[in-house]
Chains A and B, each alone.
Chain A
């Protein structure tokens, strides 16, 4: 079973993603912000992490920096989901090592498809 970690502070969005990936037989972990995410990856090695950028406490940029430093997560794919839609924002996200960058409002169909492509 593939593992996915969803990091977002908006419960309604989290709920849709959780439902969609559970449906595709993922084991889903949920974090409401960067710090919760960092707690979870201490014990779990997800295959994919869906990461929001604007979050309280530890934001998405900082979180991905930590993830990239962690050798155990070398294989883990990171996908940004963010309302920040400027080219420079996307550029920054990819430079920090993300594999994909989706801008909100996103299509959940597309996300499920592309995440699947990413890990296979």
Chain B
């Protein structure tokens, strides 16, 4: 492919990323852009060119060692829910804008520590960045096949221009706001997009190599097993190799938390805390997918291309050797994506550290305290932009001068070892409140020196002079000081060895000096807040212990210089409102001081914020004891207020319960009234009939005898109705008030049905209606037989009532369910009209659609049945009803 064509495509691709980032910055509310998957995918910034190309190189030459780099993060993932969440909470609370800020805050906003962390990060990441640029340059060369290209000056080197464009990208989208703790949505979404692209392209080449060039995975393994490399690559090695694995896994475990780019995406750019839960499974899955084909591409490369070419670029060389340029271009863009995302996030993270933890606290504070806010903002943004260009140009220079000889893998691991020096002060500091700034500083410096001696120095000497005697003989030719085999430990790989020694020294120094220093009170204050972060989020601004004299106006002045008048006033108004302090208060308290420092932290870093505020306040030294006492008191106060809160919660639930009970009582009362009314009405009706008939019979002596009979019969009917009614009402009341105990016994349901049918046979015969019992099988279960008979009598008598004479047919059936028995009573009567269907189980509800004008029932039959079935924990319902019949079902649990 020609040089200019590839350059054109690259420019087009970068343009696309610009567009995406720009689009996202405009549409921050979009649902897609706030998805937890964007967060999870941004983790994949971890997979840089090293993953994309370097892993294949390792797999081809050293075997499956490359996996260690991914096992660490996978092991770390479940811990995110504890560790990452804690870090995220603290960072959000304190508007942390970088890893350096985080560590410096933990140790009492220590300015020197922040700067030291920044320098360590620079030392680790700059070579790592140059390695990314190297990958672009080399793959570019492979793609364009113009090997004479490198002879020109840097201005002929396309990598230089790509680096510059990346710097512009990072500078533009990374400095939209002065407050660096704000999110960079545009950048993050474009990173997530690139994460998808690099994975897809890598999977494409993997499938292409495995299934197109070869006949699947086993084919590659079979063919590879005949080459001379086979044994070396597939052997895992013994215990010594096990140590190597262990230490490298630990390294990558640390890296997933502490690489500045990982800290940036996982802590600072998180949108919602619950997104961590998605990342916990998505990211390991992503790594898994990424690593499926690594081994096969590596072996395929060894088989087809042999040992003559750089194995790291097999994924490009394999398709190119087959003439598949388009495929190779895709792979190239996957790699480019990996580089771009890594370079942009790293330079962004580093630039914030450089500005907030190195440049501003060490040089520009006095300038800031004199200038206006917009001037200051512009100045801070310019520092960051300058820092981004500085980082990328230094990385380029490093690449141009040094890293030609080094592999992607080795520089990557070197970066990990350097970054790992931050781990003791970071992790131990999170959970141990005695960890002190002195321990942290000495530990980091000590560890770094050891790492420098065992790893960086040998590389540098070798790269510059080409002389390997330092590695082979040690310093001053002392064997025990051999940089790769310190004190005789010679079985570890250089990176694992350097990690082991530097990390041990670091932890030892950290713990030793932490135990032996008292630490100043400010430091102890933050230690307590970090370690006890659950309390901390409750304590909030009040957890900060401070004693002295400060004026609100002075603090307002300082804030004005950075936030501008509007924002400052708004923030202070919120503060005063939150703590219910009158707005014209003159003297500032600890909470305001802490609050103001937090406000400034995002913009200029925590150490500078502390220094600026302390310029305008008169602080009194506090003893450590006083701090601890105050903290203890505020903890107690919290416990007390928590207790009070719980009590008041209890009281309010109690009040609510009382209210509900009262409401229920009133409702019951109303229901009772209504019930009594209805009962009275039902009783009065037959009584009226009896009284009226009696009067007529008494007064009218000449009444014809058939009329007399009629009235007497009516009276009999009415008195029967009265007694039935009274019995039913008593029955119903007993069931309703739970005074009726059921007599549960094991009975045979088919027998009970038969018994009921037999009792009703005479009634049915009167209308010549047939009753059929469909299921005669014995089935035994526990129920109150008398009561169930009562229900069945109700149902069957109803059916008889509604069935036509002669053709009437009633069927009773039962079926067994999983844990219940279902009894159905169906008839071929005229059905229940729609307006009645919902009410048939209500007390005193009588369908008006009956055959006979005079309703025989009391209106309580089905209501009683329902109560009885419910007391059996069963269910009764109208299954279906139409002009052709009705079916009612009863379900009883077994």
Complex-state Cα separation, A23 to B692, whole angstroms: 14
**Segment with Cβ contacts to B, from A5-13, A39-47, A59-67, A90-98:** A5-13
* B710 located at the interface, meaning its Cβ lies under 8 Å from any Cβ of chain A in the complex: yes
CB-based contact B707/A12 at 8 Å? no
A15 at interface by CB-CB < 8 Å = yes
What distance in Å separates the Cβ of B842 from its nearest Cβ neighbour in chain A? 14
Q: Chain A 47-62 against B: per-residue CB contact (8 Å), 1 yes, 0 no?
A: 0000000101100000
Whether A105 and B691, one on each chain, are in contact in the complex, defined by CB atoms closer than 8 angstroms, is: yes
Contacts of A20 in B (CB 8 A): 692, 696
The contact of A83 among B681, B692, B718, by CB within 8 Å, is B681
Residues in chain A near residue B853, CB distance under 8 A = 11, 32
Q: A13-B692, A57-B848 are in contact. Are A105 and B687 (CB under 8 A)?
A: yes
Known: A12-B717, A83-B680. A105 touches B710 (CB 8 A): no
Contact with B along A2-35 (1 / 0, CB 8 A): 0000000111110111011001000000001000
Residue of A12, A54, A105 with highest tally of chain B CB at under 10 A = A12
Q: Is B709 an interface residue (CB 8 A)?
A: no
Is A87 located at the chain interface by the 8 A CB criterion? no
B693 contacts A12, C-beta separation under 8 Å: yes
Quick check: is B684 within 8 A (CB to CB) of the other chain?
Answer: yes
Q: How long is the Cα–Cα vector from A37 to B51 in the complex, in angstroms?
A: 93
In-complex Cβ contact of B696 among A16, A32, A105, A106 (8 A) = A16
B692 touches A16 (CB 8 A): yes
Taken together as a complex, chains A and B put the C-alpha atoms of A53 and B689 apart, in Å, by 16
Q: Which of A11, A23, A32, A105 contacts B684 (CB under 8 A)?
A: A105
Judge whether B854 and A16 touch: CB under 8 Å.
no
CB–CB A108/B695 < 8 A? yes
Interface check A84, CB cutoff 8 A:
yes
Contact B848 A106 (CB under 8 A): no
* Interface membership of A104, Cβ < 8 A: yes
Instruction: Tell me whether B700 is interfacial, beta carbon within 8 Å.
Output: yes
The chain A residue with its CB closest to the CB of B690 is A105
A17:B692 contact, CB within 8 angstroms? yes
Instruction: Select which of B681, B684, B685, B693 is within 8 A of A16 by beta carbon.
Output: B693
Does any Cβ of A come within 8 Å of B688's Cβ?
Answer: yes
* Cβ-based interface call for B711 (8 A): yes
The dominant DSSP class at the A interface is loop
Q: Which residues of A contact B686 (CB under 8 A)?
A: 12
Min CB distance A108 to B, Å, is 4
Q: Does B883 contact A (CB under 8 A)?
A: no
Residue of A nearest to B847 (CB): A56
- B684 contacts A83, C-beta separation under 8 Å: yes
Tell me, yes or no, whether B714 is within 8 Å of chain A by CB.
Answer: yes
If A32-B853, A54-B681, A84-B681 touch, does A106 touch B700 (CB 8 Å cutoff)?
Answer: no
Most A CB atoms within 10 A — which of B686, B687, B689? B689
CA distance A56 to B687 in the complex (A): 20
Distance of A9 Cα from B707 Cα, bound (Å): 20
- Find out whether the CB atom of A10 lies under 8 angstroms from the CB atom of B692: no
Does A69 sit within 8 A of B, measured CB to CB?
no
Partner of B848, one of A16, A56, A109: A56
Q: How far is the CA of A12 from the CA of B720 in the complex (A)?
A: 13
A120 within 8 A of B: no
Q: Is B699 an interface residue (CB 8 A)?
A: yes
Which residues of chain A come closer than 8 Å to B681, judged between CB atoms?
A: 54, 83-84
Q: Which residue of A lies closest to B681 (CB)?
A: A83
* Chain B nearest Cβ from A101, distance in angstroms: 14
Give the residue name and chain of the A residue nearest to B700 (CB). Answer: A23
CA distance A105 to B693 in the complex (A): 11
Smallest beta-carbon distance A34→chain B, Å? 12
What B residues does A19 contact at CB under 8 A?
696, 707, 711
Q: Count A-B contacts at CB 8 Å.
A: 68
Question: How far apart sit A12 and B710, CA to CA, in the bound complex (Å)?
Answer: 10
Q: How far is the CB of B613 from chain A (nearest CB, A)?
A: 76
Could you tell me if A15 and B714 are in contact, using CB atoms closer than 8 angstroms?
yes
- List, in ascending order, chain A residues with CB within 8 A of B710's CB: 15
Q: Are A107 and B695 neighbours in the complex by a CB distance under 8 Å?
A: yes
B401-445 CB contact bits vs A (8 Å, 1 = yes)? 000000000000000000000000000000000000000000000
Smallest CB–CB gap between B314 and chain A, Å? 90
Query: Is there an interface contact between B685 and A106, defined as CB atoms closer than 8 Å?
Result: no
Whether A13 contacts B700 by the Cβ 8 Å rule is no
B368 CB to nearest chain A CB (Å):
82
- Are B711's CB and A104's CB within 8 A? no
B854 engages A106 (CB within 8 Å): no
Task: Quote the shortest CB–CB distance from A48 to chain B (angstroms).
Answer: 17
- Provide the residues of chain A in CB contact with B684, threshold 8 Å: 83, 104-105
Complex: how many Å from CA A56 to CA B849? Answer: 11
Complexed CA–CA distance, A56 and B690 (Å): 22
> Given A16, A23, A56, which contacts B711 in the complex, CB threshold below 8 Å?
A16
Write the chain B residue with the least CB distance to A106: B688
Q: Which residues of B contact A57 (CB under 8 A)?
A: 848
Known: A57-B848, A83-B680, A84-B681. A13 touches B688 (CB 8 A): yes
Q: How far is the CA of A17 from the CA of B711 in the complex (A)?
A: 12
**Shortest Cβ distance from A66 into chain B, in angstroms?**
20
Point out the residue from A9, A23, A105, A109 that lies within 8 Å of B688, measured CB to CB: A105
Shortest B43–chain A CB gap in Å is 71
Interfacial chain B residues near A56, Cβ < 8 Å: 848
Closest residue of chain B to A19 (Cβ to Cβ) is B696
The reply to whether A11 and B854 contact each other, CB–CB distance below 8 Å, is yes
* Bound CA span A107–B685, Å: 13
Report whether B714 and A12 are in contact in the complex, using a CB–CB cutoff of 8 Å: yes
Is A109 touching B699 in the complex (CB atoms < 8 A)? yes
Contact B685 A108 (CB under 8 A): no
Instruction: Report the minimal beta-carbon distance from B565 to chain A, rounded to whole angstroms.
Output: 70
Smallest Cβ distance from B687 to chain A, in angstroms?
Answer: 4
Docked CA distance A20–B711 (Å): 12
| Cβ–Cβ < 8 Å partners of A109 in chain B | 695, 699
Residues of B within 8 A of A9 (CB): 848
Which A residues are CB-close (under 8 A) to B685?
Answer: 10, 13, 83, 104
Q: Which residues of chain B are within 8 angstroms of A84 by Cβ–Cβ distance? A: 677, 681
Chain A nearest CB from B849 CB (Å) reads: 10
- Contact status B696-A108, CB under 8 Å: yes
Tell me how far the C-beta of B732 lies from the nearest C-beta in chain A, rounded to whole angstroms. 19
If A15-B714, A19-B696 touch, whether A10 touches B707 (CB-CB below 8 Å) is no
* Neighbour of A106 across the interface among B677, B691, B693, B714, CB < 8 A: B691
B848 and A104 form a contact (CB under 8 A):
no
Which residues of the partner chain A approach B680 to less than 8 Å between Cβ atoms? 83, 85
B698 to chain A, nearest CB (A): 9
How far in angstroms is the closest Cβ of chain B from A25?
Answer: 14
Smallest CB separation, A78 vs chain B (Å) = 19
CA distance A35 to B684 in the complex (A): 24
List CB contacts (< 8 Å) of B555-593 with chain A.
none
Residues 658-693 of chain B, each 1 if its beta carbon lies under 8 Å from chain A, else 0:
000000000000000000010011001111111111
Name which residue of chain A comes closest to B698, CB basis: A109
A7 to chain B, nearest CB (A): 14
A-B contact pairs, 11 of them (CB 8 A): A12-B717, A12-B854, A16-B689, A16-B695, A19-B696, A19-B707, A23-B700, A83-B688, A85-B680, A106-B691, A108-B692
Query: Closest 9 A-B residue pairs measured CB to CB?
Result: A12-B689, A16-B692, A105-B688, A83-B684, A83-B681, A104-B688, A56-B848, A108-B692, A105-B687
| A-B contacts besides A56-B848, A57-B848, 18 pairs, CB < 8 Å | A11-B853, A12-B689, A12-B714, A12-B854, A13-B685, A13-B692, A15-B711, A16-B695, A16-B711, A83-B685, A104-B684, A104-B688, A105-B684, A105-B687, A105-B692, A107-B691, A108-B692, A108-B695
- Residues of A at the B interface (CB closer than 8 Å) are 9-13, 15-17, 19-20, 23, 32, 54, 56-57, 83-85, 104-109
